[in-house]
Amino acid sequence: MDQGFRLFPKEASTIAPQVDLLYFFLVAVTAFFTLLIFVAIVYLALRYRRKSEAMPPETKTDLRLELSWTIIPFLITLVMFGWSTRLFLKMSTPPKNAMEIHVIGKQWMWKIEHPNGAREINELHIPVGRPVRLIMSSQDVIHSFFIPAFRVKQDVLPGRFSSLWFEATTPGEYHLFCAEYCGTDHSRMTGRIVVMEPAKFEAWLAGVAPDETPAKQGEKLFTTYGCMACHGERGPTMAGLYGSTVSLADGSKVVADEQYLRESIVNPAAKVVAGFEPIMPAFQGQLSEEQIVRLIAYIKSLRTAAGGEANP
């Protein structure tokens, strides 16, 4: 991990050099104009200081001057806008092949769950050179997942999912911070990101793999809570649901992403599927954050079932 003082943390993700480049550009533009204004202030104060002779005659407004100091800053801010928008969109659009890892924040720790069910606390092991998407939620207050070396930070909220993606470029260990004040031990809600060579990562993952994947545990919950009673036949089917477009009773359409699935579990009346009665009970407050994540993992695992190949 970073030791001692450095002005900037290491650049350890694909996005980091791009964020830094934009940052340096902003600093350079700001520094240039600050200097320009200060030099002008000093020069004009000396040049036109009060003297015994008469003041020079008043000058008329010069249209060219007015236009240039309006248009040039406008063009510069347009460059800033275009550049940062492109980068922002890139940072908020995870690649399709990203590996998905669940993160749950709570006072005052980070709970991590890998797709195979491997779990970690305050540590996240990831392979180098592979896009990783974190699906994050909080079981109490607002936290924020911050990896300075990757130049990424995302708030983690109770009651909904937020997502963050990155691709690490250099093996090593990096700081993880909570960047949103969340109570007494906020400053100790830290951890480390361990970036490993793919082969080493696979070995690590195999070494900590539990017997059951989150999807398997979700399937059990599905039975325990009696979901199958309706979603087997009478209710909307779960097979192939994830990622599909759902028609709702009010005529609108939504994409069945993680957020939609969460809402449909805790508050089913919010979005009723066309052709069905709103009879499903709300599970608000009855399921822990982990259970919600597992149920969704199960529903996501049924995505291939639409093609009739996989059998849930």
Residue from 126, 164, 182, 297 touching ligand CUA (CB under 6 A): that is 182
Residue from 118, 134, 189, 273 touching ligand CUA (CB under 6 A): that is 189
Residue from 167, 180, 219, 258 touching ligand CUA (CB under 6 A): that is 180
Stretch that binds ligand CUA, among 128-136, 176-184, 216-224, 238-246 (CB under 6 A): 176-184
Closest to ligand CUA by CB, 105 vs 127, is 105
Stretch that binds ligand CUA, among 177-185, 208-216, 229-237, 294-302 (CB under 6 A): 177-185
Binding mask 72-111 toward ligand CUA (x if CB under 6 A, else -) reads ---------------------------------x--x---
- Residues 145 and 154: beta-carbon distance below 8 Å: yes
Residue from 1, 181, 202, 234 touching ligand CUA (CB under 6 A): that is 181
Stretch that binds ligand CUA, among 34-42, 179-187, 218-226, 278-286 (CB under 6 A): 179-187
Closest to ligand CUA by CB, 186 vs 262, is 186
178 near ligand CUA (CB under 6 A): yes
Chain residues binding ligand CUA by CB under 6 A are 105, 108, 143, 178, 180-182, 186, 189
